[in-house]
Structure 1
Amino acid sequence: MTLEDRLLTCLAPWREAPVWHIALSGGLDSCVLLHLLARLSTREALPPLSAIHIHHGLQPVADGWPEHCRQICAALGVPLQVRHVQVESGASLERAAREARYAALAAELGEGAVLLTAQHRDDQAETLLFRLLRGAGVRGLAGMPASRRLGRGWLVRPLLDVSRRELETYARVEGLSWVEDPSNQDDRMARNYLRNQVMPLLAARWPQVQNNLARSATHLREAQELLDDLARQDLAAARQDPAPFPWLPLPSLALTPLLGLSPARQRNAMRHWLAPLTPLPDSDHWAGWVDLLRASADAGPIWRLAGGELRRSDGRLWWLAGDWLRPTPPAQEWHDPSAPLRLPGNGRLLLEGQVPSGSLRVRYRQGGEVLALPERGHRDLKRLLNERGVPVFVRGRLPLLYRGDELLAVANLPSLDGPADTSWRLVWEPPADDHGLS
């Protein structure tokens, strides 16, 4: 089977996509992928092709790469977009550049669009070895997936079963030109050291090392799929018990079903649940999960992770990120209660029904608040919130409506959210859980 036919077979599930974008660096791999797709498009009914070049600006020689990509795309009749990104400085320049690149690529994807990248079998082998040396688990050792969600579309790697040698042969036969990134020779970077120093030594002793490592990644991906199936079964019971506050837009789980699992199954279930929300912690950091379970209920236990926090409250686990981790906003006047009030970092507030008279102000708990209730007299707000089982992390963000020094209503809590005659209600639309992952 020719390289074109193999590529076409791999991309069969994506033939109905609205567009195929090719991530074009200008290097050998992406130039071959672009050339193959442009050739296939002359005889096959493919989605429209488009190329995207990300310019990191990390080295002077890269300033000429966009023009090189323009010339290639012009010759093939493929439109090109060039996007400039700012790479944040940090401990790992490789990681920072990769994150900036994928963020820019994700921003270009419309609904259902496909981004095609040119990672190949040798890259997969390097990835497995690199992660093995870093002590990765099954999920990491499964290597790069052939496809995954990215932004509103999909990232697809159609060349993972193709060796770099095959790509080089194709490029030479077709007379393709490409750029060489001089940073690829810098062995101070871990991936370059593996590619330039370690893999040649391994290949000299085991000629099939790339094939074998890539095959191991496939086996480990199957193992991860089985672990994911088990996690979904274990999480099903924790998801059956609905959250007590439907207006609270936060991922949450009932804790009791998880406590009946072995520690290994707990970790597996939580890895699966946390994966879309945050970068997963390493093995040592899972001690925070044990501390979260063992802490007394009144301690307000928190497990802090890279993308947010896991809180335990009233028998549930709650995931907080984005605005939920920012300070409570200050009090503010509500000059036009007939219109929604934007709460900085805290969603928005509405009055449904007849607007109460007087000058209104929105405040938040400071302690000692008292609310007058029909037939119950003046009641301490803290006790009322305890009776309703409002999670501790919500109480400080729950909007309180005041007229002068009089507390009129507590948003979203029935019988506390307005007068007894139900002539109006205070409705809070909290901020969504903005974890920002895909």
Structure 2
Amino acid sequence: MNLPAKLLLSLKPWRNATTWHIAFSGGLDSTVLLHLLAHLAKAQSLPALRAIHVHHGLQAVADAWPEHCRAMCEALGVPLQVVRVQVQPGASLERAARDARYAALSEVTRANEVLLTAQHLDDQAETLLFRLLRGAGVRGLSGMPRQRPLGEGYLLRPLLDATRAELEAYAAEHQLSWIEDPSNQDRQFSRNYLRHQVFPVLTSRWPQAMATMARSAAHLSEAQGLLDELAQIDLCHARTCSEFDWLGLPSLELASLVKLSVARQRNALSHWLEPLTSLPDSDHWSGWADLCNASGDARPIWRLADGELHRAGGRIWWLSGGWLRRSPPVGTWGEPSLPLALPDNGVLSLSGQIPDGPLQIRYREGGEVMELPGRGHRDLKRLLNESGVPLFVRGRLPLLFKGGQLLAVANLPGLDGSAAGGWNLHWQPMGEDQGLS
């Protein structure tokens, strides 16, 4: 099958998208992809084509590349957008540049649009070997996925079945010109070292090494799909309802997880955590065992890259963002008839017959006492224990005072004002978009 036919077949399910964005670096691979699509569009009914060039500003020679890309796109009749990004300093320049690039590409990809990138079969083989040398698991060894969500749309890699040699042959046939990035020759970068030093040796002994390694990545991708299905089955049993679902926090029932084998626990938890945080490496999974095995009265916390797992009330809870910051003091509630925005802690409102003021909002400091009808004075700590309030919530739970008297505790039946005064103190915690990193 020739290259244009192979590309069209790969993109067949996406012909109804409104726009195909092409990630256009100006290098060989993306130049071939752009040229292929521009010429196919003359004979085929394709979505609107747009190119995007991400300028990292990492080397002086790169300043000339946007102009080269503009000239190429003008010749092919494809609109071009140039986006300049700031690459954050860090241990891996490759990774930082990639993160900045994909953040920019994510911004331009809207609903019912796709972003096309030009990675090919040789890139897939390099990815597999690179990740194998880093000790990756099945997910990592699955290589680059053919498609994945990006922004409001999807990222597609339609050339993963094509070899670098095929792209070079197409470029030579059509006399294409492209940018040669000097950094691609720098052997200090791991991928360049593999490409220039390792793969030539491998392919001299095993000519089909690239294709067979890419095939292995496909097998591992299928295996990962089965593991994901198993994770969904296991998570279905753990996603039980909780009386504290109103917190809006991701949580799972611990008992359902610990009944599983250790391998299935890891698989289910990895699947659940994957959209929330960078997953821990093998050495750091000991934190999960510590969380499970801690005594009943302990407050175990497993700290991960983008948040924390807490154990409370027979469940594990994911906390991140504002949930990990201490809520600033509030003070007087000047207009109790209006909702009150709590710094880093959601929104508070009163409904029903609002008590006379002045009213204050405070957070628990210890030693608070509340008077309840028919029960007299009770320690707030005991009342929170009776209600089963998770420990990580107690310091954030808004308390309504009048003078020095505690009138209500938000959201807790019998303590929220409804029993004594016919009114209700309601707290809407931070939404998931605020609470998640």
Pick the TM interval, shorter chain: over 0.9
Matching residue of 1:304: 303
Amino acid at match of 2:428: E
Structure 1 residue 403 displacement after superposition = 2.2
CA distance in 1, matches of 2:332, 2:109: 41
Whether 1:266 aligns to 2:265 is: yes
Structure 1 residue 419 displacement after superposition = 4.1
Whether 1:345 aligns to 2:344 is: yes
Structure 1 residue 421 displacement after superposition = 5.6
Amino acid at match of 2:156: V
Give the TM-score normalised by the residue count of structure 2.
0.96
Matching residue of 1:179: 179
CA distance in 2, matches of 1:409, 1:17: 53
Give the TM-score normalised by the residue count of structure 1.
0.96
Matching residue of 2:213: 213
Matching residue of 1:124: 124
Matching residue of 2:294: 295
**1:60-209 correspondence runs (5 A):** 60-209=60-209
Amino acid at match of 2:320: A
CA distance in 2, matches of 1:178, 1:423: 74
Structure 1 residue 422 displacement after superposition = 5.7
Amino acid at match of 2:29: D
Structure 1 residue 256 displacement after superposition = 0.8
Amino acid at match of 2:79: P
CA distance in 1, matches of 2:206, 2:425: 70
SS of 1:49 mapped into structure 2:
strand
Matching residue of 2:18: 18
Task: Judge which range, 181-190 or 414-423, deviates more.
Answer: 414-423
Matching residue of 1:3: 3
Structure 1 residue 233 displacement after superposition = 1.3
CA distance in 1, matches of 2:206, 2:249: 50
Give yes or no for contact 2:373–2:420 (8 Å, CA) kept in 1. no
Structure 1 residue 99 displacement after superposition = 0.9
**1:216-365 correspondence runs (5 A):** 216-239=216-239, 241-365=240-364
Structure 1 residue 18 displacement after superposition = 2.3
Amino acid at match of 1:386: N
Give yes or no for contact 2:359–2:400 (8 Å, CA) kept in 1. yes
Matching residue of 1:35: 35
Give yes or no for contact 2:22–2:50 (8 Å, CA) kept in 1. yes
CA change 1:330–1:278 in 2 (3 A) is same
Q: CA RMSD in A?
A: 1.5
CA distance in 2, matches of 1:332, 1:6: 66
CA distance in 1, matches of 2:258, 2:301: 17
Matching residue of 2:387: 388
CA distance in 2, matches of 1:357, 1:86: 54
Structure 1 residue 171 displacement after superposition = 1.2
Give yes or no for contact 2:287–2:302 (8 Å, CA) kept in 1. yes
SS of 1:247 mapped into structure 2:
helix
CA distance in 2, matches of 1:256, 1:396: 26
CA distance in 2, matches of 1:124, 1:173: 24
Q: Give CA deviations for 1:267-286 in whole Å, capped at 9, x if unaligned.
A: 11111111111111111111
Amino acid at match of 1:16: N
Amino acid at match of 2:274: A
Give yes or no for contact 1:57–1:63 (8 Å, CA) kept in 2. yes
Amino acid at match of 1:4: P
SS of 1:413 mapped into structure 2:
coil
Structure 1 residue 341 displacement after superposition = 1.6
Structure 1 residue 436 displacement after superposition = 6.0
CA distance in 1, matches of 2:66, 2:417: 61
Give yes or no for contact 1:279–1:307 (8 Å, CA) kept in 2. yes
SS of 1:61 mapped into structure 2:
helix
CA distance in 2, matches of 1:308, 1:135: 24
Q: Which runs of 4+ in 1 moved over 3 A?
A: 433-437
SS of 2:370 mapped into structure 1:
strand
Amino acid at match of 1:122: D
SS of 1:346 mapped into structure 2:
coil
Give yes or no for contact 2:319–2:436 (8 Å, CA) kept in 1. no
SS of 1:11 mapped into structure 2:
helix
Give yes or no for contact 1:17–1:112 (8 Å, CA) kept in 2. yes
Whether 1:379 aligns to 2:378 is: yes
Q: Give CA deviations for 1:8-29 in whole Å, capped at 9, x if unaligned.
A: 1111111122221111111111
Give yes or no for contact 2:330–2:342 (8 Å, CA) kept in 1. no
Give yes or no for contact 1:320–1:433 (8 Å, CA) kept in 2. no
Identity %: 66
Structure 2 residue runs of 5 or longer lacking an equivalent are none
CA change 1:263–1:134 in 2 (3 A) is same
Structure 1 residue 183 displacement after superposition = 0.8
Structure 1 residue 206 displacement after superposition = 0.9
Matching residue of 1:406: 405
